[in-house]
Amino acid sequence: MNKTLKRILIGVGSIILILVLIAGGFGLKMKSEIKKMHVMETSEVIPGVFAIKDSFVNMFLLKDSDSYVAIDAGADIKTIRNELSKLNIDSSKVSAVFLTHGDGDHTAALTMFWKAKLYMSRDEEQMINGKTSKMMFYHNSISRNDYSLLDDQQTITIGKTKIQGIATPGHTPGSMSYLVNDSLLFVGDAFGLENGKISKPNSFFSKDMKTAVLSFEKIANLPTAKYIFTAHVGYTADYKKAVNTQLK
């Protein structure tokens, strides 16, 4: 083996080793952060609002007469199917799905809700069409392309359910919170909850923490809001206490 080839092989081997170490470190960090999450068990949390547990994330269903409106769509379609069966909820009864953002743990069961209209923030489309990467070398994607895009403060009415989209970027560029029937605020991963108060999103999984903090102002003064539901750290029935804080 000549010296040039040997140097090349050593260089390639070194690069592979570095990549393996980076991937291993990322994997360990991700597991560590996921362990900090505490989600709700599958149940009717408050009258008409159902939390569906999928490993480390909750999606939600809002009952509307004989149908349901979904907030997000879980991390694993098989798990979502099993959890819905515990509640005797037929997935075909879901008439609309509103995505808080396009990460894979919020979109996996979209094909299950095949009758549902799909909505997301206009600014989040870049995260699922290949324009903007979630992280180095990785792009989000979803299983449907028949979606409608929402602008900040736009309101959609599904049956008797009124859903107002509130742009709360930071976790992703198009993260959107939803104020439902003027009282139920669903924030996805845009914010956390700690000791009953709003906290910053998980920095390891978020793209722009500075913008995330600024987005707090968008949800801090909603006079009719009563509840806040998060995707990974439960909910609070005391909106006023939750927003009586400062994010830095």
Q: pLDDT tens for residues 35-51?
A: 667 899 999 999 999 99
Q: Tell the CATH topology of 40-243.
A: Metallo-beta-lactamase; Chain A (3.60.15)
Rounded to an integer, the average pLDDT of 186-212 is 89
Whether the pLDDT of residue 24 is over 90: the answer is: no
Q: What is the mean pLDDT of the chain?
A: 88
DSSP string, 115-147: TSEEEEEGGGHHHHSSSS-SBTTB----S---E
Please indicate whether residue 33 or residue 69 has the higher confidence score (pLDDT): 69
Q: Rounded distance, CA 135 to CA 30, Å?
A: 13
Distances (CA, A) of 59 to 71, 180, 186, 206: 6, 15, 10, 19
Provide the 10 A C-beta neighbour count for residue 219. Answer: 21
Given this model, what pLDDT does residue 227 score? 98
Only one residue has tokens 């970027």, namely 169
Instruction: Specify burial of residue 99 (Cβ count, 10 A radius: 0-12, 13-18, 19+).
Output: buried
Q: Where are the domains of the chain?
A: 1-35, 40-243
Q: pLDDT tens for residues 217-233?
A: 999 999 999 999 999 99
Provide the 10 A C-beta neighbour count for residue 72. Answer: 28
Q: pLDDT tens for residues 118-176?
A: 999 999 999 999 888 876 666 889 989 999 999 999 999 999 999 999 999 999 999 99
pTM value is 0.87
Q: pLDDT tens for residues 229-246?
A: 999 999 999 999 999 998
State the amino acid at position 230 in one-letter form. T
